[in-house]
Amino acid sequence: MSEQPIVRRRVVKKGISDARTNDSRTQSQYDPYKDAAWGFINHWYPALFTNELEEDQVEGIQICGVPIVLRRAEGKVYALKDQCLHRGVRLSEKPMCFNKDSITCWYHGFTFDLKDGDLTTIVGNPDDKLIGTTGITTYPVHEVNGMIFVFVREDDFSLEDVPPLSDDLPFRFPENSEKFPHPLWPKSPSVLDDNAMILGMHRTGYGDWRIACENGFDNAHILVHKDNTIVHAMEWVLPLGIVPVSDDAITVVEDEKGPKGLMQWLFTDRWKPTLENKELGVKVDGMNSRHYRTSVVLPGVLMVENWPENHVVQYEWYVPITDDTHEYWEVLVKIVKTDEEKRLYQQRYDLVYKPLCLHGFNDCDLYAREAMQNFYSDGTGWDDEQLVSTDVSPITWRKLASRWNRGIAKPGRGVAGSLKDTSLIFKNTADGHRPGYKVRKIEE
* Pick 173 or 397: Cβ nearer a copy of itself: 397
Q: Could you give the CA distance from residue 227 to residue 289 in angstroms, rounded to a whole number? A: 15
Helices 392-404 and 209-216, packing angle to 10 deg = 130
Q: According to the binding rule CB under 8 A, does residue 186 interact with a copy of itself?
A: no
User: Does 252 contact a copy of itself by CB under 8 A?
Assistant: no
Q: Which amino acid is at 384?
A: D
Is there binding between residue 404 and a copy of itself (CB under 8 A)?
Answer: yes
* Cβ neighbours for 73, distance < 8 A, ≥ 6 positions apart: 55, 56, 97, 100, 101, 114
Question: Contacts with a copy of itself in 338-397 (CB under 8 A)?
Answer: 363-364, 367-368, 370-378, 380-381, 384-390
Site string for a copy of itself, 29-48 (x = CB under 8 A): x-xx---------x------
Backbone angles phi, psi at 408, to 5 degrees: -100, 120
State the minimum distance, in angstroms, from the CB of residue 335 to a copy of itself.
33
Residue 144: CB minimum distance to a copy of itself, A: 24
SS3 assignment, position 354: helix
Q: Give yes or no for residue 279 binding a copy of itself (CB under 8 A).
A: yes
Among candidate residues 276, 362, 275, the one with its CA nearest the CA of residue 314: 362
Partner residues linked to 122 by β-bridges = 110
Kindly state the smallest distance separating residue 391's Cβ from a copy of itself, in Å: 8
Q: Which residue among 184, 192, 201, 224 contacts a copy of itself (CB under 8 A)?
A: 224
Could you say whether residue 25 binds a copy of itself (CB under 8 A)? no
Peptide bond between residue 411 and the one before it cis (omega within 30 degrees of 0): no
| Total residues in contact with a copy of itself, by rule CB under 8 A | 143
233 forms part of the interface with a copy of itself (CB under 8 A) = no
Q: Is 120 in the site for a copy of itself (CB under 8 A)?
A: yes
The single residue among 59, 324, 327, 330 that binds a copy of itself, judged by CB under 8 A, is 324
37 vs 378: CA distance, rounded Å? 11
* Residues 96-115, interacting with a copy of itself (CB under 8 A): 98-99, 102, 104, 106-109, 111
287 in contact with a copy of itself (CB under 8 A): no
Q: Which residues contact 405 (CB under 8 A, 6 or more apart)?
A: 32, 36, 40, 43, 298, 299
Tell whether residue 166 is a contact of a copy of itself (CB under 8 A).
no
Measured at the CA of 211, the angle between CA 63 and CA 53, to 5 degrees, comes to 30
